[in-house]
Amino acid sequence: AEEAGFTDFQNKALEHILTVDPSLPVPSVRKSVEGEAQFMVGVGGSPPRIVRLVSYLPGQLLSRSPTSAAQDRNLGIFLARLVRALRGFFHPAAGSDLLWDIRKVAKTRPMLAHIADAGHRAMVERVIDAFEEHAAPVIPG
């Protein structure tokens, strides 16, 4: 589960983007009737969890669509608009250490023990090894 500060960072970033560039296709945060972007809920004695609702963007995943020069151009335009919309945005949780940050892949090694299938676990380990040997040294930051 993500920490409240990090989900607040995500919520505020989305709100900032839509304030600066309302036509940019990014999800919007749906607030509760009390006006909260997120709140805590515990169910059946479980530890409280953060609850938030974000709109759905229809379409196809980029990884599942055929590539083309037009797609590359449109992606570049979208990313440029996104960077421009986030210019000047700051949140204290922006520097959080995220395991899904590709630069942090080595920190996922302890989690490999949770992959039950030995073949799958070995495959993931080989990919991490190859990444650390070839890609990690050339990634900035």
Buried b or exposed e, range 59-85, using 16+ CB within 10 angstroms: eeeeeeeeeeeeeeeeeeeeeebbeeb
pTM over 0.85? The answer is no
Give the 3-state DSSP-derived string for 71-88, with helices as H, strands as E and coil as C: HHHHHHHHHHHHHHHHCC
113-123 tens-digit pLDDT:
999 999 999 99
* Residues 139, 118: Cα–Cα separation, whole Å: 29
8 Å CB contact between 53 and 29? yes
User: Nearest 5 degrees, angle CA 107-CA 111-CA 117?
Assistant: 140
pLDDT of residue 1: 56
Name the residue ranges covered by the structural domains of the chain.
4-56+68-95, 102-138
pLDDT in tens, 49-107: 999 999 999 998 888 989 999 999 999 999 999 999 999 999 998 877 777 778 888 88
**7-22: per-residue pLDDT in tens?**
999 999 999 999 999 9
Name the helix (H) or strand (E) containing 51. Answer: strand 49-51
